[in-house]
């Protein structure tokens, strides 16, 4: 699906301005609903078939599959529920009827409503890594317009693109430590921000839904966070994260997207806000701090929760156990203090 900038109306609903153009037939369209219009089935069905068949050995994404199944079903099947079109597709009508009244936030309920062929199709998507191809296009906060990233494109999912809350009550660095910061602090900061950017991309902006996996990933991919390792250059700090990513089977197939991560880092560390050149860095650190706080609060109640081990949970178990070190509440407290120290340093520095 290719973005387009021309003032052309959607070919299928004719009422809205088109935002995309079909790469197969060249038809302009405005949304996924119109892309899946009955008069466009030849292209749209072929698109989803290709998503299943391509690169079946690329990536084992069980951790993503468990919760992203909800997004896929809502997007591939659910969005057409409000459509006024009369489709002759009996299979599509059948799945609408089966999902009627089902809680789409309950993976076990949805899974039990699928046919064997639909389950097999989903498993292929998970194993191939092609799930990302049918998810909404995600725009991270650092790629929003430069006017302090508060302008959101009309029609975009604001929840996926909103700016994280900036921590404003930042204490003076001298109140947190009497020692002068190490010369390598800026490179240690890079080593911390790099996995943050990578994981947000990896989870397609839905990292809050995978909070445990995200925090444990952040900790294990950053040698500065997990081992207090110091770095002597920008390149060494970034390369360390890339090597850590390569060590984890769960990220297999996503490594080729690291060029995009390098572009993201360049955007964050040189965002062009002359009035506050460290604005993006403080936003990133604030977001990490807020996510750690959420994780800490979740850990206090985790013992009271018991995951239902139905068929779906057995097929797609959580992947946090693949990390060598699991972040407990004690580690979270130390990490929060470390983030606060970095925030204080960034607030008083010019990078």
DSSP string, 299-319: HHHGGG------HHHHHS---
Residues 95 and 162 in one domain: no
Residues 325 and 241 in one domain: yes
Residues 122 and 148 in one domain: no
Among the candidates 72, 103, 134, a domain finishes at: 134
For 226, the token pair is 């997990």
Residues 71 and 117 in one domain: yes
pLDDT in tens, 138-165: 889 998 765 444 433 333 444 434 689 9
d(CA 109, CA 333): 37
d(CA 193, CA 43): 40
d(CA 49, CA 190): 40
Residues 147 and 130 in one domain: no
Residues 212 and 118 in one domain: no
Among the candidates 101, 119, 134, a domain finishes at: 134
Residues 208 and 109 in one domain: no
Strand partners, 17: 9
d(CA 302, CA 296): 10
55: in domain: no
Higher per-residue confidence, 79 vs 338: 338
Which among 244, 289, 241 has a CA at the least distance from the CA of 265? 241
For 127, the domain range is 60-134
**pLDDT for the residue numbered 119:** 78
Q: Exposed e or buried b for every residue in 216-244, given b needs 16+ CB within 10 A?
A: bbbbbbbbbbbeeebbeeeeebbebbbeb
15: in domain: no
The average confidence (pLDDT) of the chain is 75
d(CA 147, CA 149): 5
**pLDDT for the residue numbered 264:** 92
* Chain Cα centroid distance, residue 75: 16
Question: What is the reported pTM?
Answer: 0.64
Q: What is the mean pLDDT of residues 228-255?
A: 89
């Amino acid at each position: 699906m290719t973005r387009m900038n021309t003032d052309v109306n959607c070919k299928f609903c004719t009422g809205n301005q088109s935002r995309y153009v079909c790469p197969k037939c060249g038809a302009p369209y405005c949304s996924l609903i119109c892309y899946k219009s009955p008069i466009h089935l030849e292209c749209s069905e072929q698109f989803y078939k290709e998503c299943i068949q391509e690169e079946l050995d690329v990536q084992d994404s069980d951790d993503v599959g468990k919760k992203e199944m909800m997004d896929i079903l809502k997007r591939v099947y659910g969005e057409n529920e409000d459509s006024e079109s009369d489709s002759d597709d009996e299979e599509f009508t059948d799945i609408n009827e089966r999902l009627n009244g089902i809680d789409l936030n309950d993976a076990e309920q949805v899974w039990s409503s699928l046919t064997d062929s639909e389950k097999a199709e989903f498993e292929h998507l998970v194993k191939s890594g092609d799930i990302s191809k049918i998810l909404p296009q995600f725009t991270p906060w650092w790629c929003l317009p430069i006017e302090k990233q508060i302008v959101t494109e009309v029609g975009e999912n604001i929840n996926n693109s909103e700016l994280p809350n900036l921590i404003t009550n930042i204490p003076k660095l001298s109140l947190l430590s009497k020692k002068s910061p190490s010369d390598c602090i800026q490179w240690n900061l890079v080593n911390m921000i790099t996995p943050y950017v990578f994981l947000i991309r990896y989870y397609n902006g839905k990292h809050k839904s995978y909070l445990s996996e995200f925090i444990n990933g952040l900790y294990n991919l950053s040698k500065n966070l997990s081992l207090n390792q110091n770095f002597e250059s920008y390149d060494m700090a970034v390369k360390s994260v890339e090597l850590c990513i390569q060590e984890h089977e769960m990220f297999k197939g996503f490594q080729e997207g690291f060029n995009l991560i390098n572009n993201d880092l360049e955007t964050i560390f040189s965002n062009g806000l002359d009035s506050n050149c460290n604005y993006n860095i403080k936003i990133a650190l604030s977001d990490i701090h807020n996510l750690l706080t959420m994780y800490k609060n979740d850990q206090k109640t985790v013992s009271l929760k018991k995951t239902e081990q139905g068929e779906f949970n057995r097929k797609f178990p959580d992947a946090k156990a693949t990390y060598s070190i699991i972040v407990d509440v004690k580690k979270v407290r130390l990490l929060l203090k470390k983030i606060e120290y970095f925030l204080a340093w960034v607030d008083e520095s010019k990078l």
